[in-house]
Chains A and B, each alone.
Chain A
């Protein structure tokens, strides 16, 4: 009797697993919810809460490690972010979602120093002793600010080997030997990469390439990781792998992660906190799973 039950349970489990498979790689689902970009913006504006800074602080446990205060930033003369605020606690992960052109990457770019900052501050550090990193150059941010940026586009050096790529990650270190030592620590952590250390980076598979990009950013020992579209262009079987890597970095190594992810369902599943950005402003903020369950968020930003 119990054996039969077990068999039925086993079957039931594999069905659930099958359903799970379809939700994890790239969420299976319908594509029926068709809303024009205009309408999305209008509806988002209509439902956007004016989010008080207290709410943002609360999501960061009232103890932010990185905070952005009233940022106005953009490219050239164009202002993309208008009075933007962000707070993320140490060892927390935050996912930015929203329509294309909303300014998600601009936030990461601003933190790292790739944009024109018209006004506002970016502060990093524990408690009250925060460093104002707003005006630092990108190199300073990587070397002293403890902030690393992982690009959205293919950014490995294809002609160099895997180890050379990692050494380049430590370019800002005082001596090449220090860079090599740091690289060895990274290899010790990821043996998949170590196995390919002398191969040209250009022949790595998509997942390995992403792993290399992420681990290269770790060489300088940053506290904060800015990850721009971790799963973009990745084949389904590597998407989970990338999020597992990031999960490990957050929970086992205590890194603070701010990411932009258009695979929004995956991103919100992963992250502790989610911000929905529309037209350069914060429209909705909340815990990752709460946003996932919010039907309006689902309809407007997650494809239904």
Chain B
């Protein structure tokens, strides 16, 4: 089976799973939607950590900002935000169906753009740092965001914001957001797949492999780093907006800026699947999520240990992740050449024969 055949098969399988999943197992629709959220987390992290070599521990920041921007837009388009949040959901504000959908649409758009904008600004300050300093610097951003938002009464402070209620049944809501999550994951995948084939993708890899060399060759490193983060932030913003609506109620530390859970999960998932590969984060997210959900359901109390073990084993013994391991062991599956190819002359001869 050739590489492209293998690829098409994988697409078909995932597409099939994505479409049939909620149909065959309607009770799990929400969980599978969260699966696609996890895929989004892993993919957007990998652009920074895997492709560019900048291990961000603060990407969750854009998830949170997206969530809040979306929520504020959804409310703010039709009501006074301050009043709404001060009420802490005591006054059930009413949104018509149209208001809901328009609010959601505009909210998601602004969430994406707003997060992207923040990334562009923050990039100027934070990309002077490298390696562990960058990791800690970004972590600091995410941690402080949670605290700062928690102290900001206008957006609900520690009490958070209750999102507009979905105009429809509970099942309807699950399906609706499922479709949005699945579509977002696909769109992000397609975009990143294209991105990694351009010069931009090559520049990211060069920055990862040897940033000093890239600078010495005149690559606009700051420009590329900031744009990469902006792209990550864009898709994370959408992810945040979606997830906020799915949970219905957002709160700064637990839901919007969960640095210890989702913030670390995104790193663990990309590592598990294989950082720096296209399919690695997707595979890692799927596996991670399944293991997490299974242990939660059947081995409650052990799920954190299980996840911890996965992370430790990964980091200590299995750094290249599953895709990395497979690419090493079976390079021909991926069209990667290990043997030398023919000389130019020989190829020319073959062509004319």
Q: When A and B assemble into the complex, do they touch directly, with CB atoms less than 8 Å apart?
A: yes
For residue B345, which residues in chain A have a CB less than 8 angstroms away from its CB? 38
User: With an 8 A cutoff between CB atoms, is A127 at the interface?
Assistant: no
Residue of A nearest to B330 (CB): A77
Residue of A nearest to B331 (CB): A77
User: With an 8 A cutoff between CB atoms, is A76 at the interface?
Assistant: yes
- Contacting residues of chain B (304-350) with chain A, CB-CB under 8 angstroms: 328, 331, 338-339, 343, 345
User: With an 8 A cutoff between CB atoms, is A78 at the interface?
Assistant: yes
Question: Is A76 in contact with B343, judged by CB distance below 8 angstroms?
Answer: no
Question: Is A77 in contact with B343, judged by CB distance below 8 angstroms?
Answer: no
| Per-residue contact bits, chain B 49-77, to A (CB 8 Å; 1 contact, 0 not) | 00000000000000000000000000000
Bound-complex Cα distance A187 to B273 (A): 53
For residue B328, which residues in chain A have a CB less than 8 angstroms away from its CB? 76-77
- Contacting residues of chain A (52-107) with chain B, CB-CB under 8 angstroms: 76-78
Question: Is B338 in contact with A38, judged by CB distance below 8 angstroms?
Answer: no
Bound-complex Cα distance A38 to B340 (A): 13
| Minimal beta-carbon separation of A292 from chain B (angstroms) | 30
Q: What total of chain A residues lie within 8 Å of the partner, measured CB to CB?
A: 4
Question: Is B343 in contact with A78, judged by CB distance below 8 angstroms?
Answer: no
| Minimal beta-carbon separation of B330 from chain A (angstroms) | 10
Bound-complex Cα distance A38 to B345 (A): 10
For residue A77, which residues in chain B have a CB less than 8 angstroms away from its CB? 328, 331, 338
- Contacting residues of chain A (2-50) with chain B, CB-CB under 8 angstroms: 38
For residue B339, which residues in chain A have a CB less than 8 angstroms away from its CB? 78
Bound-complex Cα distance A134 to B219 (A): 46
For residue A38, which residues in chain B have a CB less than 8 angstroms away from its CB? 343, 345
Bound-complex Cα distance A227 to B338 (A): 29
For residue B338, which residues in chain A have a CB less than 8 angstroms away from its CB? 77-78
Bound-complex Cα distance A38 to B331 (A): 27
| Minimal beta-carbon separation of A43 from chain B (angstroms) | 14
| Minimal beta-carbon separation of A239 from chain B (angstroms) | 30
For residue B343, which residues in chain A have a CB less than 8 angstroms away from its CB? 38
For residue A76, which residues in chain B have a CB less than 8 angstroms away from its CB? 328
Residue from A38, A77, A78 with most neighbouring chain B CB atoms (10 Å): A77
For residue A78, which residues in chain B have a CB less than 8 angstroms away from its CB? 338-339
Bound-complex Cα distance A53 to B288 (A): 56
Residue of A nearest to B343 (CB): A38
Bound-complex Cα distance A76 to B328 (A): 9
Residue of A nearest to B329 (CB): A77
For residue B331, which residues in chain A have a CB less than 8 angstroms away from its CB? 77
Bound-complex Cα distance A13 to B331 (A): 63
| Minimal beta-carbon separation of B345 from chain A (angstroms) | 8
Bound-complex Cα distance A77 to B338 (A): 8
| Minimal beta-carbon separation of A201 from chain B (angstroms) | 25
Residue of B nearest to A77 (CB): B338
| Minimal beta-carbon separation of B324 from chain A (angstroms) | 13
| Minimal beta-carbon separation of A41 from chain B (angstroms) | 9
Residue of B nearest to A76 (CB): B328
| Minimal beta-carbon separation of B339 from chain A (angstroms) | 8
| Minimal beta-carbon separation of B336 from chain A (angstroms) | 11
Residue of A nearest to B344 (CB): A38
Bound-complex Cα distance A162 to B331 (A): 46
| Minimal beta-carbon separation of A2 from chain B (angstroms) | 65
Residue of B nearest to A41 (CB): B343
| Minimal beta-carbon separation of B272 from chain A (angstroms) | 22
Bound-complex Cα distance A78 to B331 (A): 12
Bound-complex Cα distance A78 to B339 (A): 7
| Minimal beta-carbon separation of A40 from chain B (angstroms) | 13
Bound-complex Cα distance A298 to B268 (A): 56
| Minimal beta-carbon separation of A38 from chain B (angstroms) | 6
Bound-complex Cα distance A38 to B347 (A): 14
Bound-complex Cα distance A242 to B339 (A): 38
| Minimal beta-carbon separation of A15 from chain B (angstroms) | 46
Bound-complex Cα distance A147 to B335 (A): 41
| Per-residue contact bits, chain A 134-156, to B (CB 8 Å; 1 contact, 0 not) | 00000000000000000000000
Bound-complex Cα distance A183 to B75 (A): 78
Bound-complex Cα distance A76 to B320 (A): 14
| Minimal beta-carbon separation of A73 from chain B (angstroms) | 15
| Minimal beta-carbon separation of B115 from chain A (angstroms) | 41
| Per-residue contact bits, chain B 224-239, to A (CB 8 Å; 1 contact, 0 not) | 0000000000000000
Bound-complex Cα distance A77 to B327 (A): 12
Bound-complex Cα distance A78 to B343 (A): 18
Bound-complex Cα distance A78 to B328 (A): 11
| Minimal beta-carbon separation of B295 from chain A (angstroms) | 35
Residue of B nearest to A37 (CB): B343
| Minimal beta-carbon separation of A164 from chain B (angstroms) | 29
| Minimal beta-carbon separation of B152 from chain A (angstroms) | 50
Bound-complex Cα distance A287 to B339 (A): 34
Residue of B nearest to A79 (CB): B339
| Minimal beta-carbon separation of A254 from chain B (angstroms) | 41
Bound-complex Cα distance A77 to B343 (A): 21
Bound-complex Cα distance A200 to B242 (A): 60
Residue of B nearest to A279 (CB): B340
Bound-complex Cα distance A14 to B333 (A): 67
Bound-complex Cα distance A76 to B343 (A): 23
| Minimal beta-carbon separation of A42 from chain B (angstroms) | 9
| Minimal beta-carbon separation of B343 from chain A (angstroms) | 6
| Minimal beta-carbon separation of A81 from chain B (angstroms) | 15
Bound-complex Cα distance A77 to B339 (A): 9
| Minimal beta-carbon separation of A97 from chain B (angstroms) | 22
- Contacting residues of chain B (103-131) with chain A, CB-CB under 8 angstroms: none
Residue of B nearest to A38 (CB): B343
| Minimal beta-carbon separation of B341 from chain A (angstroms) | 13
> What are the 3 closest A-B residue pairs judged by CB atoms, nearest first?
A77-B338, A38-B343, A78-B338
Can you list 8 pairs linking A and B with CB atoms under 8 Å apart? Answer: A38-B343, A38-B345, A76-B328, A77-B328, A77-B331, A77-B338, A78-B338, A78-B339
Which residues in B have some Cβ–Cβ distance to A below 8 Å?
328, 331, 338-339, 343, 345
Besides A38-B343, A38-B345, A77-B338, 5 more A-B contacts (Cβ < 8 Å) are A76-B328, A77-B328, A77-B331, A78-B338, A78-B339
